[in-house]
């Protein structure tokens, strides 16, 4: 069992692997019976909780404010909370850091060329062809984390390697 709730906040460009890694960690923590785990994923939150929001800076920030509100309640009440949002703006990640319990920022990094090649959702192709605007990394800013607790380079490491790094960190920090 984990001693208390904590928050793993995955940030990074689209397709970098935030959802993939958060899902694998959820599985790993459940297998180890570490307690209640709840994932908050950008795609699902946008569909249900933030349906009214778009991708302007104001809307992206409001999206993160709402996600933070939920993550704060969960993590303060003993739930292991895994949050995967592009969350491109530093100030809003700092806002989340202050509020969420035991906040760990994980920068899920990947070279742009690899992301364009992966193009899981077909969005890079569209963004590069100017078919979608406000696309992070192509036509919208991404402010790199300055002091993330962890950096995972998914262009260089396997999913299992990234997961192991996170689990090791959680043991070191005595969060699990």
Residue ranges binding Mg ion (CB under 5 A): 18-19
Q: Is there a contact between 125 and 119 (Cβ–Cβ < 8 Å)?
A: yes
Q: What is the largest CA-CA distance in the chain?
A: 49
Contact by Cβ (8 Å): 137, 112? yes
State which of residues 40, 67, 86, 92 lies at the interface with ligand ATP (CB under 6 A). Answer: 86
Q: Which is nearer to ligand ATP, 99 or 118 (CB)?
A: 118
**Residue among 2, 20, 63, 87 that touches ligand ATP (CB under 6 A):** 20
Considering the complex, what minimum distance in angstroms separates the CB of residue 22 from Mg ion? 8
In the complex with ligand ATP, which residue's Cβ is closer, 97 or 118? 118
Report the run of H or E that residue 27 belongs to, with start and end: helix 18-31
Identify each DSSP E strand in the chain by its residue range: 6-11, 37-41, 80-84, 103-109, 150-153
Give 58: exposed, middle or buried? Use CB within 10 Å, 0-12, 13-18, 19+.
exposed
Confirm or reject binding of residue 17 to ligand ATP (CB under 6 A).
yes
Catalytic residue among 14, 75, 84, 87: 87
**Shortest approach of Mg ion to residue 73 CB, angstroms?**
22
118 binds ligand ATP (CB under 6 A): yes
CA distance 100 to 104: 9
How many DSSP H helices and E strands does the chain contain? 7, 5
> Binding of ligand ATP at residue 11 (CB under 6 A)?
no
> Does 63 engage in binding with ligand ATP (CB under 6 A)?
no
Residue placing its CB nearer to ligand ATP in the complex, 3 or 156: 156
162 classed as catalytic: no
Catalytic residues: 87
Residues forming the site for ligand ATP (CB under 6 A)? 12, 14-21, 42-43, 84, 86, 108, 118, 120-121, 154, 157-159, 162
């Amino acid at each position: 069992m984990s001693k208390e709730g904590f928050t793993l906040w995955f940030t990074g460009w689209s397709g970098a692997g935030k959802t993939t890694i958060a899902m694998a960690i959820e599985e790993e923590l459940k297998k180890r019976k570490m307690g209640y785990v709840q994932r908050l994923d950008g795609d699902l939150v946008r569909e249900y909780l933030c349906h009214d929001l778009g991708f302007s800076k104001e809307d992206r920030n409001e999206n993160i404010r709402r996600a933070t509100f939920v993550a704060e309640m969960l993590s303060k009440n003993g739930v292991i909370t895994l949050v995967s949002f592009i969350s491109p703006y530093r100030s809003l990640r700092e806002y989340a850091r202050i509020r969420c319990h035991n906040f760990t920022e994980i920068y899920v990094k990947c070279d742009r060329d690899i992301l364009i090649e992966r193009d899981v959702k077909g969005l890079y192709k569209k963004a590069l062809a100017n078919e979608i605007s406000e696309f992070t990394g192509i036509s919208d800013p991404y402010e790199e984390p300055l002091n993330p607790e962890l950096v995972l380079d998914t262009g260089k490491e396997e999913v299992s390697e990234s997961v192991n790094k996170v689990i090791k960190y959680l043991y070191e920090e005595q969060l699990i």
